């Protein structure tokens, strides 16, 4: 692949990566820069036969890779992390051009990705077996742990770098082969970039294969391929239900991180300065396009008006515009359909009785028709059944819901099918933790906001927010299997 720099959006990205080869396709998909609305490159549109070739390569390569010494697998992941750091600035620019991620989003993505790579590099030495006692005299029980085989990684467009890596790096580190299917809108930073970097550090052919294309055309084949042993997926709950069902039909293990409707509870005794600082970051970073962002601000009636006023003031002060401007905080959302859906939620909620305090439209950009930059939006007088509160709006929108006592706050927070993340500000840590214990979420953060991800800490959702989990020992157990070997050292007495 030739390019103006080592990695640039202007490169020729129009090839799949299968069995260590760059493979062209008959069809391609245009990549539009969300800030400029201009087509900046093309990526390949794979067919089902391309998918089959990727899985065949993965299956052929996996056994030899599993037998590779742990130190070698550890070294590959460490060298991958160094390659990430080497290409830091280029990758941040790619994220700006492909998914509209501003400087803060790009830097955050890199930080989290490096954390995941560092954790994954420890996995080859953590594949520990066990000795177990036996109820049978003279018997030894040995439990071995090894790779599952072929891991499918289906990643999303919002944080494609780190959300792809948290599946790919652990899988490779533990001796699996991988087929990576990134989201259509992030085929480069969620997929093809990985192929370039792992090729650069000498990963054997076939251990990583990247197929890009429309989910409607190859999604079912990827999710249900007979060579797949584990299917990891991050994305919406409706799509995730289908992926999990398709994987289960093939008896592959589904690992799903799905949607969220995360509550930010603020009590009457909260430090409002801290609660607002957390609220602004938790609602507006990367335009709210984060599954663990704040979807609902649940605020005590005694401080409600002050909270809304402060939130409006802060929202109106946020720099908006192109992701290519390093000062921009709120940039473009990913595409027209996402923009239109979130603005419809705002309009429908206002019609239902919510008050639009600020925002609710788009920000015009010079020389850009049909801007994708949505104004930072705050709504008051919101109830839990309004569209901005009951749906995952996935945008720079902050609905503020009042409550009168803690029991009501808990009821509001838990009144959703989701259970991914959340946050609490209650004045003192003990009260905050007590409230956190009652919230039905996979993770919850006291004196903070919901957007947290540390590779050594388990990350999972409950209810409609997912099944299985990522990070730490959770993903280690998902992508490996155990084998019980018993050895009868002494003659055994049988009843007949």
For residue 155, what pLDDT is reported?
98
Could you tell me which residues are beta bridge partners of residue 152? 179, 231
User: Above pLDDT 90, what percent of the chain?
Assistant: 98
Over residues 350-361, mean pLDDT: 98
- Residue 23's CB is within 10 A of a number of other CB atoms, namely 17
In this prediction, residue 152 has a pLDDT band, given cuts at 50, 70 and 90, of very high
The CATH class of the 262-446 domain is: alpha beta
State the Cα–Cα distance between residues 15 and 48, nearest whole angstrom: 15
Q: Give me the catalytic one of 119, 257, 375, 392.
A: 257
Quote the Cα angle for 82-88-92, to 5°. Answer: 145
Could you tell me what percent of the chain has a pLDDT over 70?
A: 99
Q: Looking at residues 421-434, what average pLDDT do you find?
A: 97
Q: Is 390 a catalytic residue?
A: no
Name the band, by pLDDT with cuts 50, 70 and 90, for residue 417.
very high
Per-residue confidence at 495, pLDDT binned at 50, 70, 90?
A: very high
**Does pLDDT of 1 surpass 50?**
no
Per-residue pLDDT tens digits for 76-93 = 999 999 999 999 999 999
Going by C-alpha positions, the residue among 195, 210, 204, 250 that lies closest to residue 228 is 250
What b/e sequence results for 324-362 when a residue is b if at least 16 CB atoms lie within 10 Å of its CB, and e otherwise? Answer: bbeebbbbbbbbeebbeebbebbeebbeeebebbbbbeb
Residue range(s) in the chain whose domain bears CATH number 3.40.605.10 = 16-258+461-483
CA-derived radius of gyration, the chain: 24
Q: How many angstroms separate the CA atoms of 314 and 400, rounded?
A: 14
Looking at residues 290-299, what average pLDDT do you find?
98
Question: Region 200-208: what's the mean pLDDT?
Answer: 98
Mean pLDDT along residues 62-67: 98
pLDDT mean over 48-59: 98
Choosing from 196, 227, 291, 390, the catalytic residue is 291
Q: Which fold has domain 16-258+461-483?
A: Aldehyde Dehydrogenase; Chain A, domain 1 (3.40.605)
pLDDT higher than 60, residue 3: no
Catalytic-residue membership of 291: yes
All CATH 3.40.309.10 domain ranges of the chain, comma separated, are 262-446
Average pLDDT, the chain: 97
Q: Is the pLDDT of residue 6 over 90?
A: no
pLDDT beyond 60 at 2: no
Residue 25 clears pLDDT 50, i.e. is over it: yes
For range 473-485, the mean pLDDT = 97
At residue 5, the pLDDT reads 45
What are 331-349's pLDDT values in tens digits? 999 999 999 999 999 999 9
Averaged pLDDT for residues 122-126:
96
């Amino acid at each position: 692949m030739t390019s103006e720099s080592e990695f640039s959006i202007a490169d020729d990205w129009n090839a799949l990566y299968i069995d260590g080869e760059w493979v062209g396709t008959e069809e391609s998909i245009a990549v539009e820069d969300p800030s400029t609305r201009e087509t900046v490159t093309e990526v390949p549109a794979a067919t089902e036969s391309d998918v089959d070739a990727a899985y065949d390569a993965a299956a052929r390569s996996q056994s030899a890779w599993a037998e590779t010494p742990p130190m070698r697998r550890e070294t590959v992941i460490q060298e991958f992390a160094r390659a990430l750091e080497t290409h830091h600035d280029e990758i941040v620019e790619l994220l700006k051009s492909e998914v509209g991620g501003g400087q803060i989003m790009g830097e955050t993505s890199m930080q989290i990705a490096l954390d995941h790579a560092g954790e994954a590099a420890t996995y080859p030495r953590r594949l520990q077996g066990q000795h177990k006692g036996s109820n049978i005299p003279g018997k030894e029980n040995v439990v071995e742990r090894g790779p599952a085989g072929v891991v499918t990684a289906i990643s999303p467009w919002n944080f494609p770098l780190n959300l792809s890596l948290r599946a790919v790096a652990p899988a490779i580190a533990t001796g699996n082969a991988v087929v990576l299917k990134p989201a259509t809108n992030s085929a480069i930073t969620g997929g093809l970039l990985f192929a370039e970097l792992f090729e650069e550090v000498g990963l054997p052919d076939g251990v990583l294969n990247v197929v890009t294309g429309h989910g409607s055309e190859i999604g079912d084949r990827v999710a249900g391929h007979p060579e797949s042993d584990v299917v990891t997926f991050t994305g919406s709950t409706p799509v995730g239900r289908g992926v999990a069902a398709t994987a289960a039909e093939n008896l592959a293990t589904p690992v799903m991180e799905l949607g969220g409707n995360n509550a930010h509870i603020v009590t009457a005794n909260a430090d409002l300065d801290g609660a607002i600082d957390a609220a602004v970051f938790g609602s507006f970073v990367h335009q709210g396009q984060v599954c663990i962002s704040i979807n609902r601000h649940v605020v005590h009636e005694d401080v409600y008006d002050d909270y809304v006023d402060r939130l409006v003031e802060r929202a109106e002060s946020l720099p908006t515009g192109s992701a290519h401007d390093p000062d921009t905080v709120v940039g473009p959302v990913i595409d027209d359909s996402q923009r239109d859906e979130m603005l419809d939620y705002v309009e429908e909620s206002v019609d239902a009785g919510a008050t639009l305090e600020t925002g609710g439209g788009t920000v015009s950009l010079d020389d850009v028709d049909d801007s994708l930059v949505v104004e930072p939006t705050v709504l008051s007088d919101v109830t839990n059944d309004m569209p901005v509160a009951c749906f995952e709006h996935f945008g720079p929108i902050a609905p503020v819901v009042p409550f009168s006592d803690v029991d009501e706050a808990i009821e509001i927070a838990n009144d959703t099918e989701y259970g991914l993340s959340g946050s609490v500000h209650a004045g003192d840590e003990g009260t905050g933790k007590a409230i956190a214990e009652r919230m039905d979420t996979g993770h919850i953060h006291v004196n903070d906001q919901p957007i947290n991800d540390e590779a050594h800490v388990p990350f999972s959702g409950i209810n409609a927010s997912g099944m299985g989990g990522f990070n730490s020992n959770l993903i280690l157990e998902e992508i490996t299997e155990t084998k019980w070997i018993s050895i009868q050292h002494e003659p055994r007495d049988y009843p007949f």
